[in-house]
Amino acid sequence: MTKTNGITPRDELVFVKLGGSLITDKSTAYKARIDVIDRLSREIQRARTQRGLRLVVGHGSGGFAHVSATRFETARGAINPNSWEGFIRVHEDAAKLNAIVRESFAKTGVLAATIQPSSVCIARAGRIQEAYTRPIELLLEAGLIPLLYGDVCLDLERGMCVASTEEIFRYLAAVLGPHRVVLVGKVDGVLDHRGEVIARISSATFKCFSRSLLESDGVADVTGGMLHKVKSSLEMGVPARIINGLKPGLLERALLGETVPGTVVEG
């Protein structure tokens, strides 16, 4: 098997995030885009068959958990007597979407097992500080895909917080050491103020673009939208490519190691 930089494809670990705005209709509560999810599942399965990658897949919660998180202001923590009801509602909504994604994976032969972030992660001031990662490591060793998702998290300062998939990936990157990250959304990459794709963002150039990144797809996002995605990606320490999952075949090509249109975030 051919090696690249000393890494065979079967050694390569890739984190993949399916964006909430991509797999749900964020303008309509609790509406999953089943056709999009099914197609992305097939692309993941084909890429794994061809290249034998190790994958950790996460997904956003889009028009599911964002509904309850906004209603209960969960991102602000335990701020009133209703906050803990919100904690449960947000988790339930996130889990409903995860069940849809997991079912799609099963239909297309993707062997994925859900890891519930709210059960294994503890945060402080919105940042994950601890996580029990051994089940993820064992699933990878078994050739399965750990399937994570944006969820609520117990927080040592706020009582609770919202843990985005990017925040979960940020923590896991330091533990698992992925070789690259693919963030799949519904736009062609990170867009500047003129609506044009920014080819590359680094720590040195981040401030130049930060003002235009406060919203994702024009819809308010409780986890911080594109700004949060880029900031978290810079902290992962490996190249992260932001691509458009509405374009059939693009995720598959990215997983196979091809250079595809989008924005690369690194360093």
User: Residue 216: is its pLDDT beyond 50?
Assistant: no
Q: Which pLDDT value is given to residue 9?
A: 55
Highest mean pLDDT (candidates 2-6, 184-188, 215-219): 184-188
Tokens of residue 140, six digits: 């990878």
Task: Name the nearest CA neighbour of 62 among 228, 227, 251, 217.
Answer: 217
Residue 31 in contact with residue 100, Cβ under 8 Å? no
CA 10/CA 13 separation, integer angstroms: 8
CATH superfamily of 9-265: Acetylglutamate kinase-like (3.40.1160.10)
pLDDT level of residue 8 (50, 70, 90 thresholds)? low
Higher pLDDT, 197 or 7: 197
pLDDT band at 224 (very low <50, low <70, confident <90, very high): low
Q: Which of 232, 257, 104 is nearest to 180 (CA)?
A: 257
Tell me how crowded residue 110 is: count the other CB atoms within 10 A of its CB: 21
- Cα separation, 161 vs 260, whole angstroms: 34
